[in-house]
Structure 1
């Protein structure tokens, strides 16, 4: 069985371009939406994503919507605990494909590390 976990030095989820996520208002409250939009740099990447290290510079203090946790995904997306693993894997694969491509090194690494 595949087990979701964050794959280091990926950062696909840090590509925040709002034009890629037209439904932001459907799951973020107005305050969270404001925070989200304030994080988007001119290039569409989060201003806290370090392109050289490919890591979040505020990981421990990142916003709630950046956390893959049951309470967050339950609240934002209505995901039940038993659905979280598969939902998170699907979300990551979709985001990695959109940012880096279906056959990218990032996708290969993600699939290998989560056991797909």
Structure 2
């Protein structure tokens, strides 16, 4: 069985381009939406992502909407805890494909890490 995990030096989820996420206001409250939009930098990338290492510079203090946790996903998206693993894998695969491509090194690394 595939098990979700974040892979280092990917950063696909840090591509925050609001044009590609028109439904942000459906799952972010007004304060979170304001914070999210304030984090969008050049090319839609999060201002807290180190572009060279592809690592979050505020990882320990990142906002709630950046956390893959069962309570967060249940509240924000209505995903039951037992569904989180498969949902997170699908989300990551879609985001990695959209940012880097379905045959990218990032996708290959993710699939290997999660056991696909």
TM-score tier after normalising by the smaller chain length = over 0.9
For the residue of structure 2 that corresponds to 1:103, the secondary structure is coil
In 2, Cα distance between the equivalents of 1:67 and 1:104?
Answer: 24
Using the TM superposition, give the Cα deviation of residue 42 of structure 1 relative to its aligned residue in structure 2, in angstroms: 2.3
- Structure 1 segments of 4+ aligned residues over 4 angstroms from their partners: none
TM-score by length of 2: 0.99
For the residue of structure 2 that corresponds to 1:43, the secondary structure is helix
Please report the RMSD computed on the Cα atoms of aligned residues, expressed in angstroms.
0.4
Show the counterpart of 1:36: 36
TM-score by length of 1: 0.99
Show the counterpart of 1:8: 8
In 2, Cα distance between the equivalents of 1:86 and 1:68?
Answer: 12
Show the counterpart of 1:105: 105
In 1, Cα distance between the equivalents of 2:81 and 2:42?
Answer: 36
Matched, 1:86 2:86: yes
In 2, Cα distance between the equivalents of 1:112 and 1:22?
Answer: 31
**Structure 2 residue ranges without an equivalent (≥5):** none
For the residue of structure 2 that corresponds to 1:87, the secondary structure is helix
In 2, Cα distance between the equivalents of 1:78 and 1:97?
Answer: 24
In 2, Cα distance between the equivalents of 1:70 and 1:110?
Answer: 20
**Structure 1 residue ranges without an equivalent (≥5):** none
Q: How many residues align structurally?
A: 116
Using the TM superposition, give the Cα deviation of residue 43 of structure 1 relative to its aligned residue in structure 2, in angstroms: 1.5
Using the TM superposition, give the Cα deviation of residue 33 of structure 1 relative to its aligned residue in structure 2, in angstroms: 0.2
Using the TM superposition, give the Cα deviation of residue 30 of structure 1 relative to its aligned residue in structure 2, in angstroms: 0.4
Matched, 1:75 2:109: no
Show the counterpart of 1:53: 53
